[in-house]
Amino acid sequence: MLQQWRTLTQTGFFVLFVIAPPLDLFRYDLNLGHFILLGYDWRLNVAAIQHGQDSAVINILLLGIAPILLIAAGFLFVAWRWGRIYCGWFCPHFSVVEQINKLMIRAIGKPSIWDKKTLPLKKPNRWYWLPTVFLALFFALIWSVSLLTYLLPPFEIYHNILNLQLTRNQSIFLLVATSLFCLDFLVTRHLFCRFGCAVGLFQSLAWMANRRAMVIAYDNNKARACQSCNNACDNACPMRLQPRTIKRRMFSCTECGECISACTQVQGGNEQDSLLHWVQGVKAEQLSEPPVGIPKCSSPRSQS
């Protein structure tokens, strides 16, 4: 049920990401030279400052700087309390990463070409490279077109694509962006999410600063139950982490809960028997230090 809810939030946010420009929910129009927000022109009127109009300065502070600061503060507060929950539950890039992971596991037995060992009980089928590459190219094109509609009139872009009438600059943008996104999805997606994404990095920094923030907790009292498990929680993690380690080693955890779902399934589907669960407050603070007695993985997986 947990992952079903997460699939709904990811799908909904991805659809919102794609339809926001054509519905004029949010975009910056290069032709007009200003933002459009909820169907209204969002002008800062910077040129008025050059004419000595004091109202222009107030306009920029109230309509420009203040909203950005409020959104940034709210975003960082959420990360401070709940970690990279945006990445795991909403980010349109991470949702693609997870889909590529699933296909690549079928193709090569591991979710990333950088992993040295295949996952247990996974028999590679090289034919799955075809849908893997196709899906990466498909989502790369969607991302590229969507980003272009955030900068230019969406229906003009759609019309030009359907009628093969793209301008030179539009064609170059789509070709370069699609190539880069496809390369990212196939080769560097985990590395980008962990080290290259500024949004994810700032979330992680805010989360690490709060010793009582929400974190995945491992029930050390039930450690014996891990002896019959072949690292299901590690294998399920889309960020290639080891969920049973201490908080500071889970810097890029996206709070997706895949490890919790995997452990629950291993324990017979009973959530009460799961060895992994979310905690906050004092319990989370205790996880900032190495717990005693965590079992070593029987077959440690290298980190990409």
pLDDT digits (tens, 9 = 90+) for 184-200: 999 988 888 888 899 99
**117 secondary structure, DSSP code:** S
| Rg of the chain in Å (alpha carbons) | 23
Give the best-scoring range by mean pLDDT among 26-40, 168-182, 273-287.
Answer: 168-182
Would you place residue 273 in the very low, low, confident or very high pLDDT band (cuts 50, 70, 90)? confident
Residues 256 and 104: their CA atoms lie apart, in Å, by 19
Note the pLDDT of residue 35. Answer: 86
Assess contact for 141 and 161: CB atoms under 8 A. Answer: no
Q: Which residues contact 45 (CB under 8 A, 6 or more apart)?
A: 56, 59, 60
Is 49 a residue whose pLDDT tops 90?
no
288, with CB counted inside 10 A (0-12, 13-18, 19+), is: middle
Is 301 a residue whose pLDDT tops 70?
no
Note the pLDDT of residue 57. Answer: 60
CA-nearest of 14, 24, 15 to 149 is 24
Is 269 a residue whose pLDDT tops 90?
no
* 63-72 per-position pLDDT tens digit: 667 778 899 9
Would you place residue 244 in the very low, low, confident or very high pLDDT band (cuts 50, 70, 90)? confident
Instruction: Name the pTM for this structure.
Output: 0.83
Residues 92 and 16: their CA atoms lie apart, in Å, by 9
Is 59 a residue whose pLDDT tops 70?
no
Note the pLDDT of residue 296. Answer: 45
Task: Read off the pLDDT of each residue in 163-184 and give the average, rounded to a whole number.
Answer: 95
- The stretches of 109-167 forming alpha helices (DSSP H) are 129-149, 154-162
Determine which of 59-63, 73-77, 173-177, 210-214 has the lowest per-residue pLDDT on average: 59-63
Note the pLDDT of residue 292. Answer: 47
Note the pLDDT of residue 298. Answer: 42
